[in-house]
Structure 1
Amino acid sequence: MKNPRFKANLLIATYVIVLAYVFLNLNTVFKAFGTMISIIKPFLIAIAIAFVLNIPMKLLEEKVLKFMDKSQNRFVRGIKRPISLTITLVAVIGLIIGLFIFVIPQLSDSVSTLVRNVPEYAKSLEAMMTQTVSNDMINDLINQALNMWKEVLQVLGQVSGAVVSQVLDITIGFASGVVNFFIGLILAIYMLLSKEKLTLQTKKVIYAFINKGKAEKIMEIAKISNIKFSKFVGGQCLEAVILGTLCFIGMTILSMPYTLLVSTVVGVTALIPIFGALIGTIPTSFIILMVDPVKAVWFIILIIVIQQLEGHFIYPLVVGSSIGLSALWVMFSMIVGGSLFGVLGMLIGIPLFGVIYTVFGTITNKRLQEKNLLQDNDTNDDI
């Protein structure tokens, strides 16, 4: 006869041994975890790409190409998914290529203008220094610079080895990232073409190794997560359109050059949560700087104002409402996620908190309903 108490004690002892090993060998555990993540990184990238591409692909299948389901020809019904995926990929790649076609020539022209104007800038700087600084001060500065040159050479000799090593690491990391991205893209295409089969296989594994009650809860949480993250991506796209439009209106009012180009770049980079608009400001402000330095300053001020509006009003309202969170909880999830996991925490913190908020709200309302304390106007997923 089996002793249940012995089994429970053995399980507790196993947990204690495992925890003790983890705490005593944190470096080894973290190294093994990092190795595992690096191995499965293409699959993680593939999941992320497939999740994002699935949103427009699903829209095409359910709205644009829905008529193909009524066809009597099995081949026509079967090619709906490949056609939807192909249109999605072409649209995304075309958007990226179009952005580069717009931006790269303008950046090239701006750099050429800057190179041509460098001698004039140097003369202006020299004239300004001659007017404001005495000859004795200039001679002292030259002597100090000559004396420091030997020390600079010594420091450069010591740092050069480290710099070369860092450049090599960065180059290898970039090449590895590019390879992982393309592998992930290929895997994502396979995932999207057979997503129903993969979903069914995942359900079979969950129900096979976990009891039915817990398996149903896992599937419910997975469903909520899919809805929240999909709405988050949609809200992010809407916010990018709003920011691009605000930038276009502001630049038009201030009569700035390259209004459409700059607004497009700002809107596209705004797809990156939180910091996207600021990332787009760097190349676009440089383009404007080469045309009119004063307007470049006004452009930076305009972006700062728009960024403040985004962070305090637009982002919490648009993205928060899309996933069912108030502005307060959006700001809370951004702050907590950023504090715990940095930029990655800020990216996934909002939809993840949306999932937690919905699940916790559902559990809370069920408990209140059991106690007959739930009001009639309360929702099932809101606290």
Structure 2
Amino acid sequence: MWINHRFFKYLTGVILVLICIFFLELLHFFEPILKIFNTLFYPFLIAGFLFYLIRPLVGALAKIKFFPKPVAILVVFAGIAGVIYAGFNLLADKVIKQMTNISNLPQNLKDSAKEAEKQIEKKDMGMLSTDALSQRVNSFFSDFIQTISDNASQIFSAIAGATTVLIIVPIVLFFLLKDGHKLIPFLRKAFPRRFKVEVEDLLKDIDKTLSAYLIGQVTVAFVDGVLAYIGFLIIGLDYALVLSMFIIITAIIPFFGPIIGTIPAFVVALMQDPAMALYVIIIIIVVQQLEGNLVAPLVLGNRLHMHPLTIILLIIVAAPLFGFIGMVIIVPLYAVVKMVLKDLYKMYQAHT
């Protein structure tokens, strides 16, 4: 009989689960769980991200006879802290100075608009509406830069206030590096014996995919920032270091990241010299060509086996829903979910 078909049994189970979730939500059952999740999400996300970046270094050190894994982890932590300290001493003054100057850009825009208005009034003999022209130019660029400045201040305020995260992340990261190899055997025990081989292979594939993607994407972003910094220095762009660092951060997002990172550089170049804005566009085009044809194929390859249009649509959807973090994690998350569903379906077909 059709009602006894396996599909309807599964459908009935899903409906019952959804009904239970609905009533539990009415009783506010999930509120404590959501609070715990929101508290631990970012520390574990950051720790997981750093885990994949640092694990190769720890593994290489742990192979040396005199470096057991805990010692190797502490040595890598000390090395990273040393690099951060040295970089801070070398670049802190320059970065702070450039950030301070960038924060003054809105006022500089207003002053430039007033100066342009005076020049137009001298030369146009009253034929142009300088009030309307200057108002539009001033309003657009001033509001745009002010928005960037406000968002930057919010980001830095959030980072400055994240003392708890800074304490939790190193602890979680240490134990992930120390005992991360035990995770796959632990998860494998939750499955029946006949699925253990397939589940272990699936978990290993997920681990390799995430590791290769994250390391590759960070490498590509760093190379983009370095190449952009060299180009900015060549054309003499103001605030070249800060602008290239911003490109490194945003370039972690595929496709749209470098474009987002270029917007501040373009605005600064337009303020410095309109011709400079054209040079910035040329530099970014050259950087993107080098990335797309040389750096990305060499570092990333085709690890995720995803069509570029799929990646673009994922990022477009994630941006308004989850913001910057969503744009960063949506692509590897989709790849993992796709891999899990595909392999689970294969296991289902093989064992039925």
- TM-score, structure 2 length as denominator? 0.65
| Selected match of 1:302 from 260, 282, 296 | 282
1:155 matched to which residue of 2? none
2:169 matched to which residue of 1? 188
Letter in 2 for 1:296: M
Q: For residues 21-80 of structure 1, what are the alpha-carbon distances to aligned partners after superposition, in whole Å with 9 as ceiling and x for unaligned?
A: 55x679859x8767634432232222222222223432332335643x347xxxx77522
Q: Map 1:134-283 to 2 at 5 A.
A: 134=126, 179=161, 181-195=162-176, 196-197=178-179, 200=182, 203-204=185-186, 207=189, 209-214=190-195, 216-248=197-229, 250-251=231-232, 255-257=235-237, 261=241, 264-265=244-245, 268-274=248-254, 275-283=256-264
Q: Relative to 1, partners in 2 of residues 1:135 and 1:53: Cα closer, same or farther, differing over 3 Å?
A: closer
Q: CA deviation at 1:187?
A: 2.4
Q: What percentage of residue pairs aligned between the two structures are identical?
A: 17
Matched positions, count = 321
1:337 pairs with 2:314: yes
Q: For residues 323-377 of structure 1, what are the alpha-carbon distances to aligned partners after superposition, in whole Å with 9 as ceiling and x for unaligned?
A: 253xxx24143134235534555433433454466667778999999xxxxxxxx
Q: Relative to 1, partners in 2 of residues 1:314 and 1:198: Cα closer, same or farther, differing over 3 Å?
A: closer
- TM-score, structure 1 length as denominator? 0.61
Q: Which structure 2 segments of 5+ residues have no match?
A: 133-149
1:46 pairs with 2:43: yes
Other structure's SS at 1:79 match: helix
Other structure's SS at 2:236 match: coil
Other structure's SS at 1:321 match: coil
1:18 matched to which residue of 2? 17
| Selected match of 1:83 from 68, 75, 81 | 75
Contact between 1:324 and 1:354, CA under 8 Å: does it hold in 2?
A: yes
Q: For residues 209-267 of structure 1, what are the alpha-carbon distances to aligned partners after superposition, in whole Å with 9 as ceiling and x for unaligned?
A: 542344554443332222111111111122124323543564466x3345963674255
Partners in 1 of 2:69 and 2:296 — Cα distance?
41
Q: Relative to 1, partners in 2 of residues 1:349 and 1:127: Cα closer, same or farther, differing over 3 Å?
A: closer
Q: Relative to 1, partners in 2 of residues 1:351 and 1:128: Cα closer, same or farther, differing over 3 Å?
A: same
Contact between 1:46 and 1:188, CA under 8 Å: does it hold in 2?
A: yes
Partners in 2 of 1:185 and 1:11 — Cα distance?
44
- Give me the CA root mean square deviation: 5.1
Higher mean C-alpha displacement, 353-362 vs 102-111: 353-362
Q: Relative to 1, partners in 2 of residues 1:222 and 1:185: Cα closer, same or farther, differing over 3 Å?
A: farther
Q: For residues 263-316 of structure 1, what are the alpha-carbon distances to aligned partners after superposition, in whole Å with 9 as ceiling and x for unaligned?
A: 7425523443134434443444455455x3134312442355257648965787
Contact between 2:228 and 2:287, CA under 8 Å: does it hold in 1?
A: no
| Selected match of 2:120 from 114, 119, 128 | 128
Partners in 1 of 2:312 and 2:31 — Cα distance?
26
Partners in 1 of 2:125 and 2:32 — Cα distance?
58
- Greater gyration radius: 1
Contact between 2:220 and 2:291, CA under 8 Å: does it hold in 1?
A: no
1:59 pairs with 2:56: yes
